[in-house]
């Protein structure tokens, strides 16, 4: 529920300001809200968007005749904090608040020569959080390269996968800066921030997008989805019903389309089972209209190419789980789509737009078994999160593994991260190679994320404190970029 602010009179200013989101020691401000001939602005419009976030907005005219605006925040028992909006910006998103707290804000106009004029204070109360967990940092970052990094995670609850789903942004200290929790619409699979700050995510066989200010942009859902009739006050106005059950992964495809894994349906005459396979669809991100589609039933046969233990499982109430594809990677230079087919222990590479199956990568589960999230690296090698479910020989362990394709389809491991004793995440998870050369790993089932150096040393590690909470995958986000998306001036 969004909570609007109430107004009160001007208060005292403090002696420390937070610029962006980092505290700086500055000279003490005047005890008066106005210390010049500048006219004070109207109080900002303050709306609590979540337990961690408040949106502050104002009229563009507040910038007239001044060099700088600042939004000041004050809470009982805390030092005054100042948020510096981007030049000519008309709103900011405050980050990292605590649930069920009264927060006071005011807008100040500032001009060279220490002239300033501030509005009345306005009070808003953050709502309670349904998240039910904190984040524990178990290996602290050393404060060097990457100290400003933030992390976007999709969270689910093991015992309530059809109900609970959350998307969080946290910092190296484990502080939750941004929070979106949904207790009725199911788990979040893939979630990623696009280059313009749009949040694109897959939630319980839907594809959704929204701004960090909780403005809904799009929602695509199958017309027969079990939740299609459940009211959704945020996304109902932008909902488009389609003929696809989207799942696991949805990526921006060019500037105007989305590429997603979808369920497809078949029937096996030998067993009499209804079979759930997968396809890949490209669709218009504005209208939902499909522009390209392939179906794995056109490339593989259930009787000759299956994981038998997997096939006995049911998925999404649709039938027996055959291929269980879980991730996409588009190579724009080669115009190739990499599809990770989990239950077949292979990565299929398709030409776009012909749909031709160019090659298959895999060795029967030896190098990677029921893996997630392949990443094609600049040298052509591939990094995956190797879950280890149904590994040949039955050994249960997970790892991040990087391999090269050799002659005759042989796979050569060139790097791996494995722990002693082993960790095991039979489902979900990912591994991302960062620009620094480090690898960001999501140990999903154990609710853990960690960054490791090429030599295997841990740079940082954090985990969800509440047992049963899982992280589907983790995306690293530059802190300065995230602040800009929130309307804040870079530090």
| 396's tokens | 């249960």
Q: What is the DSSP string of 125-141?
A: EPPP-S----EEEEE--
Is residue 378 scored above 50 in pLDDT?
Answer: yes
Residue with tokens 């954090």: 462
Does the domain formed by 3-125 have CATH 2.60.40.10? Answer: yes
Q: How many other β-carbons are positioned within 10 Å of the β-carbon of residue 344?
A: 23
Omega prior to 353 cis, within 30 of 0: yes
What are the φ and ψ backbone dihedral angles of 62, each rounded to 5 degrees?
Answer: -60, -25
Is residue 419 scored above 50 in pLDDT?
Answer: yes
* pLDDT tens per residue across span 76-94: 888 999 999 999 999 999 9
- What's the whole-number average pLDDT of the chain? 92
Residue 388's pLDDT band (cuts 50, 70, 90): very high
CA 114 to chain centre: 41
For the ranges 209-213, 267-271, 438-442, the lowest mean pLDDT is seen at 267-271
Residue 191's pLDDT band (cuts 50, 70, 90): very high
Residue 30's pLDDT band (cuts 50, 70, 90): very low
* pLDDT tens per residue across span 139-187: 999 999 999 999 999 999 988 888 999 999 999 999 999 999 999 999 9
Q: How far is CA 312 from CA 157, 322, 372, 388, 391, in A?
A: 24, 9, 21, 19, 17
* pLDDT tens per residue across span 281-292: 999 999 999 999
Is residue 20 scored above 60 in pLDDT?
Answer: no
Residue 5's pLDDT band (cuts 50, 70, 90): low
| 102's tokens | 């009264």
For 135-485, the fitting CATH number among 3.30.70.100, 3.20.20.70, 3.10.20.340, 2.120.10.30 is 2.120.10.30
The share of the chain scoring above pLDDT 70, in percent, equals 92
Of 335, 436, 423, 359, nearest to 386 by C-alpha is 423
Numbered ranges of CATH 2.60.40.10 in the chain: 3-125
Give the pLDDT confidence score for residue 4 in this predicted structure: 60
Is residue 22 scored above 70 in pLDDT?
Answer: no
Q: What angle do CA 48, 54, 56 make, to 5 degrees?
A: 110
Global pTM exceeds 0.85: yes
Numbered ranges of CATH 2.120.10.30 in the chain: 135-485
As a whole number, mean pLDDT of residues 308-319 equals 91
């Amino acid at each position: 529920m969004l909570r609007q602010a109430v107004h009160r009179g001007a208060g005292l200013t403090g002696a420390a300001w937070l610029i962006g989101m980092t505290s700086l020691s500055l000279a003490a401000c005047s005890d008066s809200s106005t210390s010049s001939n500048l006219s004070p602005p109207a109080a900002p419009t303050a709306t609590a968007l979540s337990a961690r976030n408040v949106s502050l907005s104002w009229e563009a005219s507040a910038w007239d005749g001044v060099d700088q605006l600042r939004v000041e925040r004050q809470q009982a028992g805390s030092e005054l904090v100042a948020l510096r909006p981007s030049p000519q910006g008309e709103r900011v998103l405050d980050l990292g608040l605590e649930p069920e707290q009264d927060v006071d804000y005011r807008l100040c106009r500032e001009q060279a020569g220490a002239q300033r004029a501030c509005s009345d204070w306005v009070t808003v109360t953050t709502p309670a959080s349904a998240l039910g967990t904190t984040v524990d940092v178990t290996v602290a970052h050393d404060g060097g390269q990457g100290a400003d990094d933030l992390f976007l995670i999709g969270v689910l609850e093991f015992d309530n996968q059809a109900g609970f789903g959350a998307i969080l942004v946290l910092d190296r200290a484990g502080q939750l800066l941004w929070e979106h929790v949904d207790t009725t619409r199911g788990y979040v699979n893939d979630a990623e921030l696009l280059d313009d700050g749009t949040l694109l995510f897959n939630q319980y066989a839907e594809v959704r997008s929204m701004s960090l200010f909780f403005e809904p942009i799009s929602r695509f859902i199958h017309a027969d989805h079990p939740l299609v009739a459940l009211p959704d006050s945020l996304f109902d106005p932008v909902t488009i019903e389609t003929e696809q059950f989207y799942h696991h992964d949805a990526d921006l495809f060019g500037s105007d389309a989305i590429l997603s894994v979808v369920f497809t349906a078949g029937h096996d005459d030998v067993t009499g089972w209804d079979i759930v396979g997968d396809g890949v669809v490209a669709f218009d991100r504005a209208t939902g209209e499909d522009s390209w589609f392939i179906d794995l039933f056109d490339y593989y046969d259930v009787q000759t190419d299956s994981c038998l233990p997997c096939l006995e499982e049911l998925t999404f109430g649709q039938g027996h789980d055959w291929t269980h594809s879980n991730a996409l990677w588009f190579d724009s230079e080669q115009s190739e789509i990499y599809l990770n087919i989990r239950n077949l222990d292979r990565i299929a590479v398709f030409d776009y737009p012909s749909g031709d199956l160019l090659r298959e990568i895999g060795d029967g589960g030896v190098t990677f078994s029921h893996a997630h999230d392949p990443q094609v690296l600049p040298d052509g090698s591939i990094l995956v999160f190797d879950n280890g479910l149904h590994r040949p020989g039955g050994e249960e362990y997970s790892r991040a593994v990087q391999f090269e394709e050799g002659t005759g389809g042989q796979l050569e491991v060139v790097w791996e991260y494995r722990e002693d004793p082993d960790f095991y995440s039979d489902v979900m998870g990912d591994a991302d190679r960062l620009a620094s050369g480090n690898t960001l790993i999501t140990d999903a089932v154990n609710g853990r994320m960690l960054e490791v150096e090429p030599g295997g040393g841990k740079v940082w590690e954090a985990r969800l404190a509440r047992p049963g909470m899982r992280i589907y995958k983790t995306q690293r986000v530059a802190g300065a970029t995230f602040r800009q998306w929130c309307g804040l001036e870079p530090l």
